Amino acid sequence: MSTTLATPTRPRRQAGALAEDVVRRFGDRTVLDGLDLAIADEELVVLLGPSGCGKSTLLRLLAGLDRPDGGRVEVPARRAVVFQADRMLPWQRVLRNVTLGLRGPDADRRAREALAEVGLSGREGAWPKELSGGEAQRVALARALVSEPELVLLDEPFAALDAITRLRMHDLVRALRVRHHAAMLLVTHDVDEAIALADRIVVMRDGRIGNEHLVELPAADREASGAREELRAALLHDLGLVHQS
Amino acid sequence: MTDVGLVAPPVREEPYRESHAEPPAEGTTASPRREVFLPGESGRRTALGVLRARLRWPLGIYTTPAVVLVLWEVLARAGVLSPAYAPAPTSLLGTAQRLWDQGVLGPDLAISLQRAGLGLALGLTVGIAAGVLGGLLRSGEYLFNGLVQIVNTIPLLAVLPLMIVWFGIDEFTKVLLISFGAGVPMYLNLFSAIRGVDQRLIEMARTTGAGRLRLVTRVLVPGALPGFLVGLRFSLAYSVLGLVAAETVNADQGLGFLITQGQTYLQTDQVFVGLAIYSILGLVADQFVRALERVLLRWRPGYEAA
Ligand SMILES: Nc1ncnc2c1ncn2[C@@H]1O[C@H](COP(=O)(O)OP(=O)(O)OP(=O)(O)O)[C@@H](O)[C@H]1O
Ligand SMILES: [Mg+2]
């Protein structure tokens, strides 16, 4: 595991990720319109928003897959992405899928450790076609974490999983956060998933970050509590779903 | 395998009956037909089942050719087919033996194989190198694509007279013709295979921090492999075609010469021996690619026809 040395000389805002006044257009449609977002070191921010509002677009900018049409994006060089679909290389066994971005003689050992962390010891030699949906998504998680990134971007990583597997994945993410000290941005449609995992929930609207909610509930209160229901109602209101609750 | 498989009635479809444990809700319009699935054939292999499967396609894909051969033999023996037009397959074996003993078949086969081998080596080398460059680099695409497309539209046989004028009638022309046949389909298939690798996987690889070399060796090359094998299959087939064309038009040695000679002296059996050897070459090439596919494309969740 990487060192836990403090780096006091480094300004705080350099850790995590920073998007300043970011603009992104497709043709004459402006999807991101002067968006600002800062993610602190080791913070898990959940991004909520209606379909088509530009969540994936923002995530791709932070991942460095696309360039902004205006503004500024600053992210650590060591970052990883978990996509909605697992995006495994079907022609490589699980282990080689995890070592894809790794260099050095201990790559295999590190990949084995990462697979063990997501509960997939012993499946290193399997072909992707032999994995279940949840297993494949766990491999994608291992592949993201194996390089000890400073920023992990997750685009609806558990959307295609069933409810029980999704809850297991939430436990897994919480456990992994204890060991890996990375900032995370998680995009989801699921308000309950947001409440279960977030340090902070931001809601996108009109190409910007609309409301923000700091979530400072202990784990038990995230399952069921008055504060949780209040937060849930507030989020649904932000998403324009208030009349349904 | 299990007893259950044997005890369960082998019912695959039956109309819905009232006596069933759970009658449908009020609506009697529900589909009356039901399907029942039992352990597959592999689960309970009776001796009879195995025998039936064997009898259905005893020689795999060669069942149909074998049937044609047998039919041909029977018709030839019955005198329906005249030996001057289509001699019986068994008599062709005798002819082949005779030609071999005369010291004709062996050298002819050797020289043909040598031509095909040289042409293939040349064509595949150029085709693969150009295909990889064209697939990976934009400038490679501009360099090669137009040229190959033009060459591709010209029939091989039409270029032959020109090549004879340019390069003479010796070995070089034949090897060149074969290499054109092999190189062009290889280039075209490899190019589109590399360009067709799933963009989302390339994107994913970039986000893991994999460098250019990793991207090529772990994503683009294996991803292009199925297309490469399609190209290889075409290349092998076309190289045999090129071989036939080159040898038939002008040769004093080789299988094509054997056939032309047989034709000139009305030795139909000799023509057939030549044809049979060409077709065996084609079949061997096909089996070779199939074997490669089985090894290299193990990862692919392929469609297995019933
Ligand atoms: N490459 C592209 N070309 C043109 N338009 C695009 C492109 N990518 C995204 N868009 C448009 O930008 C808008 C935002 O897309 P984006 O994928 O970011 O939405 P999203 O918030 O992730 O939605 P969802 O929750 O459904 O995934 C959409 O209206 C989409 O049509
Ligand atoms: Mg999206």
Confidence of residue B31 (pLDDT cuts 50, 70, 90): low
Average pLDDT of the residues of chain A? 87
How far off is chain B from A127, nearest CA to CA, in Å? 6
Is A188 in the same domain as A232? yes
Average the pLDDT over each of A134-138, B79-83, B179-183 and give the range with the smallest value.
B79-83
Write down which residue in A97, A126, A147 finishes a domain: A147
Confidence category of residue A111, pLDDT binned at 50, 70, 90: very high
Residues A167 and A229 in one domain: yes
Would you call A143 and B207 a contact, using CB atoms and an 8 Å cutoff? no
Neighbour count for residue B36 (Cβ, 10 Å): 11
Q: Is the pLDDT of residue B26 over 80?
A: no
- On whether both A104 and A129 belong to a single domain, the answer is yes
What integer is the mean pLDDT of B121-139? 94
- Would the pLDDT of A134 be above 90? no
Quick one: pLDDT at residue B166? 87
In a domain, A84, yes or no: no
Q: How far is CA A20 from CA A25, A73, A233, B263, in A?
A: 16, 6, 29, 82
B208 contacts in chain A (CB < 8 Å): 80, 100-101, 143-144, 147
Query: Does the beta carbon of A49 sit less than 6 angstroms from any atom of ligand 1?
Result: yes
Domain boundary residue, one of A103, A125, A147 = A147
Overall average pLDDT of the B113-128 stretch: 93
Mutate to test the interface with B, among A60, A67, A100 (most CBs of B within 10 A): A100
For chain A, say whether B295 makes contact (Cβ under 8 Å).
Answer: no
Q: Distance, in angstroms, between A56 CA and closest chain B CA?
A: 14
Largest CA distance in chain B: 87
Determine phi and psi for A176, rounding to 5 degrees: -70, -30
Q: A31 and A73 in one domain?
A: yes
ipTM, two decimals: 0.83
Q: Does the Cβ of A55 fall within 6 Å of ligand 1?
A: yes
Is A23 exposed, middle or buried (CB count within 10 Å of its CB: 0-12, 13-18, 19+)?
Answer: middle
Are the beta carbons of B183 and B124 closer than 8 angstroms? yes
Residues A135 and A31 in one domain: no
Mean pLDDT, to the nearest integer, of B204-211?
A: 89
Looking at residue B36, what is its pLDDT?
84
pLDDT at B43 over 90: no
Share of chain B above pLDDT 90, in %: 29
Asked if B36 contacts B12 with a C-beta cutoff of 8 angstroms, the reply is yes
Q: Could you tell me the CATH number of the domain that includes residue A61?
A: 3.40.50.300
Q: Do B210 and A100 touch (CB under 8 A)?
A: yes
Q: Which residue has the higher pLDDT, B84 or B120?
A: B120
Judgement on whether residues A69 and A163 belong to the same structural domain of the protein: yes
Question: B218 — contact with chain A (CB < 8 Å)?
Answer: yes
In this structure, the answer to whether residues A132 and A106 fall within a common structural domain is yes
Asked if B66 and B74 touch (Cβ cutoff 8 Å), the reply is no
Percent of chain B whose pLDDT exceeds 70:
86
Residue A53 Cβ < 6 Å to ligand 1: yes
The domain B117-296: what is its CATH number? 1.10.3720.10
Q: What is the pLDDT of residues B208-259, one digit of tens each?
A: 988 899 999 999 999 999 999 999 999 998 888 888 888 877 677 888 888 8
CA-atom Rg of chain B in angstroms = 28
Residue B254, phi-psi category: left (phi > 0), alpha (psi -120 to 50), beta (remainder): left
Distances (CA, A) of A17 to A38, A130, A145, A148, B11: 6, 36, 17, 16, 63
Please indicate, yes or no, whether residues A63 and A171 belong to a single structural domain of this protein: yes
The pTM of this model reads: 0.77
Domain identity same for A155 and A37: yes
Residues A167 and A198 in one domain: yes
What is the pLDDT, as a whole number, of residue B226? 92
If we measure between CA atoms, which residue out of B285, B250, B248, B255 comes closest to residue B273?
Answer: B255
In the prediction, which pLDDT does B139 show? Answer: 93
User: A213-236 pLDDT, tens per residue?
Assistant: 998 888 888 888 888 888 889 889
- Residue A11 has what pLDDT? 45
Same domain, A155 and A227: yes
In a domain, A5, yes or no: no
Which phi and psi angles does A21 have, rounded to 5°?
Answer: 55, 40
Chain B: residue nearest A147 by CA?
Answer: B208
Using one digit for the tens of pLDDT, what is the confidence trace for A65-106?
A: 999 999 999 999 889 999 988 899 999 999 999 999 898 899
- pLDDT tens profile A21-62: 999 999 999 999 999 999 998 899 999 998 889 999 999 999
Residue A187, pLDDT > 50, answer yes
Ligand 1 centroid, distance to B135 Cα (angstroms): 29
CATH number, domain containing residue A136: 1.20.1580.10
CB contact under 8 A, A100 and B207: no
Supply the range of the domain harboring residue A106: 89-147
Is the confidence at residue A154, as pLDDT, over 50? Answer: yes
A26 C-beta closer than 6 A to ligand 1: yes
Mutate one of A88, A89, A96 to test the B interface: name it (highest B CB count within 10 A): A89
B210 vs A contacts (CB less than 8 Å):
100-101
For chain B, domain boundaries: 117-296
Q: Cα-flanking dihedrals φ and ψ of residue B20, to 5°?
A: -65, 155
Q: Could you tell me whether strands A70-74 and A29-39 are parallel, antiparallel, or unpaired per DSSP bridges?
A: unpaired
Number of domains into which chain A is organized: 2
User: Tokens standing for B292?
Assistant: 């490669």
Judge if A138 and A104 occupy the same domain: yes
The tokens of B54 are what? Answer: 């064997």
Closest alpha carbon to B239 in B196, B167, B288? B288
pLDDT of residue B1: 36
pLDDT of residue A13: 47
* Ligand 1 atom nearest to CA at A53: 21
Of A2-16, A221-235, B83-97, where does mean pLDDT reach its minimum? A2-16
- Domain presence at residue A83: no
